[in-house]
Amino acid sequence: MKLPPLQTVLHVDLPRYAGDWYVYAHIPYSLEKGKVGTLDRYVLRPDGKMDNIFLFRRGSLDAPLEQWKGVAWVKNKKTQAEWRVQFIWPLRMPYLIIDLDPEYQWSVVGYPNRKLAWVLSRQPTMSEATYHGILKRLALQGYDPVKLVKVLQRE
């Protein structure tokens, strides 16, 4: 059964979205497996793009902090909720902001085929009520919430 396209939020205020986001939970893929204490940092650039810095530790919160540097840009200028992200040339990945707290304290990033998702939070922790609400809305978008795994963070 073919699912309808993911629905992004109506609008993202990029300066407000910029900054640090802890990866609270995700559907892990090969490059993220074994990484803990993960954080995405978005920095607006004068050219309209964003630096996308992925910070992480391998296997333990006591492991050295590492980072990968990428670039992101807005694909949908009207909503600013659809981006492309590139860490390795020429691979460009869709980045769809499909759920966003009105106060910009958490965000959910989806992937068109629903094999990837990220729950991001400004804090390393999140209330269970907030997280369960996010999971319910992910299910309404065609995701299997059971596939999401919480990422170990330092509290």
pTM for the model stands at: 0.95
Looking at residue 2, what is its pLDDT? 80
Looking at residue 31, what is its pLDDT? 83
Q: Is residue 5 part of a domain?
A: no
Question: pLDDT, tens digit, for every residue of 67-96?
Answer: 999 999 999 999 999 999 998 888 899 999
What percent of the chain stands above pLDDT 90?
Answer: 88
Q: How far apart are CA 110 and CA 92, in angstroms?
A: 15
Structural domain tally of the chain? 1
Q: How far apart are CA 68 and CA 87, in angstroms?
A: 7
Q: How far apart are CA 135 and CA 1, in angstroms?
A: 21
CB 83 within 8 A of CB 92: no
CB 55 within 8 A of CB 67: yes
Q: Name the β-bridge partners of 93.
A: 85
Question: pLDDT, tens digit, for every residue of 47-72?
Answer: 999 999 999 999 999 999 999 999 99
Please list the alpha-helical segments (H only) found in the chain.
Answer: 14-17, 128-140
pLDDT above 90: residue 155: no
Backbone torsion region of residue 77, taken as left when φ is above 0, otherwise alpha when ψ lies between -120 and 50, otherwise beta: alpha
Q: Is residue 20 part of a domain?
A: yes
Q: Is residue 155 part of a domain?
A: no
Q: Which domain holds residue 129?
A: 14-144
The domain spanning residue 73 has which CATH number?
Answer: 2.40.128.20
